[in-house]
Amino acid sequence: MNDTIRACLEHVRKPARYTGGEYNAVYKDKSQVDLRFAFCFPDLYEIGMSHLGSKILYGLLNSMEGVWCERAYAPFLDMEEQMRKRGQPLYALESGDPVGEFDILGFTLQYEMNYTGVLNMLDLAGVPKRAADRKELKPLVIAGGPCVYNAEPMADFFDLITIGEGEEVMPELMNLYRACRDAGESKAEFLKKAAQIGGVYVPSLYEITYKEDGTVAAITPRDGAPAVVRKRVVKDLDKAYYPEKFVVPSTDIVFDRAMIELFRGCRRGCRFCQAGYTYRPIRARQPETLKKQAEALIANTGWDEVSLTSLSSSDYPHLETLCEGLVAKFEPMHVNLALPSMRADSFNLDLAQNIQKVRKSGLTFAPEAGTQRLRDVINKNLQEEDLLEACKLAFAAGYNGVKLYFMMGLPTETDEDLLGISKIVRNVQRTFREYAKNKARGLRINVGISIFVPKAQTPFQWLGQISAEEAARRKEVLMESLNIKGVTYSIHEYKTSFLEAVLARGDRRLSAVLERAWQLGCRLDGWEENFNFDAWMQAFSDTGVDPAFYANRELAPDEVMAWDHISSGVTKCYLYSELEQARKGIATPDCKAGCRNCGALSLTGGKCDV
How confident is the model over 50-88, as pLDDT tens digits? Answer: 999 999 999 999 999 999 999 999 999 999 999 999 999
428 contacts 484 by C-beta, under 8 angstroms = no
pLDDT at 361: 65
Nearest to 201 by CA among 177, 241, 173: 173
Residue 96 has pLDDT above 90, yes or no: yes
Task: Give the model's confidence band at 251: pLDDT under 50 very low, under 70 low, under 90 confident, else very high.
Answer: very high
Kindly state the percentage of the chain with pLDDT values over 90. 90
Nearest to 308 by CA among 290, 286, 333: 290
509 contacts 29 by C-beta, under 8 angstroms = no
Read off the pLDDT of residues 559-594 as tens digits, 9 standing for 90 and up. 999 999 999 999 999 999 999 999 999 999 999 999
Task: Give the model's confidence band at 357: pLDDT under 50 very low, under 70 low, under 90 confident, else very high.
Answer: low
Beta bridge partners of 530: none
Beta bridge partners of 403: 364, 446
Average pLDDT, the chain: 95
When pLDDT is averaged across residues 82-95 and rounded to a whole number, the result is 97
pLDDT at 360: 63
Q: Which SS3 state, helix, strand or coil, does residue 517 take?
A: helix
> Measured between alpha carbons, how far is 99 from 141 in angstroms, rounded to an integer?
11
Q: Which of 50-59, 114-123, 307-316 is predicted with the least confidence, judged by mean pLDDT?
A: 307-316
Beta strands in 176-215 (DSSP E): 200-201, 206-210
Beta bridge partners of 67: 35
Read off the pLDDT of residues 358-401 as tens digits, 9 standing for 90 and up. 556 678 899 999 999 999 999 999 999 999 999 998 898 888 89
pLDDT at 441: 84
pTM: 0.95
Give the architecture-level CATH label for domain 3-230: 3-Layer(aba) Sandwich (3.40)
Amino acid at 225: A
Domains of the chain, by residue range, sit at 3-230
pLDDT at 354: 72
When pLDDT is averaged across residues 101-108 and rounded to a whole number, the result is 98
The span from the first CA to the last CA of the chain, in angstroms, equals 49
When pLDDT is averaged across residues 121-133 and rounded to a whole number, the result is 98
Pairing of strands 35-41, 104-108: parallel
pLDDT at 353: 72
> Measured between alpha carbons, how far is 561 from 549 in angstroms, rounded to an integer?
13
pLDDT at 397: 85
pLDDT at 140: 98
When pLDDT is averaged across residues 94-121 and rounded to a whole number, the result is 97
190 contacts 137 by C-beta, under 8 angstroms = yes
Nearest to 79 by CA among 141, 129, 4: 4
pLDDT at 349: 74
